[in-house]
Structure 1
């Protein structure tokens, strides 16, 4: 496995719609492994293929806490519900945070690294992370959805208050 460079804004790769994956092979498995290592090394909870220079529909989410890593190939949102506004950040936008409104619930159909189709339902923070990464696969950046920017100091103060 390898840690790849994360592409940061501005870069045209981040705004391209990604191609569907048709070949499920060792190259794809290696990409998923590299993405995981890169995400962990960068202290992230999600990463999409275009963030490491690959314009294919592949994304991962890992909330830690003993949960299984979610690997999504060719994900498609089939149902959403509810709404909430929370602060988001992105590895491709270092030190930029903002409030983004997203659905509270999401149902996704995707394929795993071997091409098997599966369905996934998520709520709250997990749903937000999944939708953020799927947006990347369509060239949609979270900064286009920010309703209010939050500076790092404000974010740190909020985190301290929660502890």
Structure 2
């Protein structure tokens, strides 16, 4: 088990556009495992590879509600439906939350760890998590999209 340090706001890697993965090998599977282990030890519901210092297109989402966690390689939003305002936080920007307009529903495709194409239709919290984590892969943080950002009280 390897729990990685979560990269914090201001680190240049969080603004980089991540590289697409051409081939799933043991190094890529190790990154997936590190994302799993790190997210399992955090309060958040999603984590992207750049948040553990790796500029690759991999995300991990675990809503921690009993649903199956998702590890996705080269994720892409293929369709967005509707809009709504949500409150978001980020493991890379601790102590703040912001109001962000996100799609109500999204279609997402990518590859699983076996290299097979997978597709998801997501709404609610899962849709927001997909949007948030895929943004990280393009160097976008929720504060870049936020209408307002608030400092949380202790």
TM-score of the aligned structures, taking structure 2 as reference length: 0.96
The 5 A counterparts of 1:95-134 are 95-134=95-134
Partner of 1:70: 70
Aligned residues: 154
Distance 1:150 1:101 in 2: 15
Structure 2: runs of 5 or more not aligned = none
Distance 2:148 2:17 in 1: 26
After the TM superposition, which segments of 4 or more aligned residues of structure 1 sit over 3 Å from their partners?
none
Structure 1: runs of 5 or more not aligned = 157-163
> 1:150 deviation in Å?
2.7
After superposition, the C-alpha distances for 1:113-157 in whole angstroms (9 at most, x for unaligned) are 12110111100111001110000001111111111123323xx9x
TM-score of the aligned structures, taking structure 1 as reference length: 0.91
Counterpart contact for 1:25–1:114, Cα < 8 Å:
no
Distance 2:89 2:76 in 1: 22
Distance 2:94 2:151 in 1: 12
Partner of 2:143: 143
Higher gyration radius (CA): 1
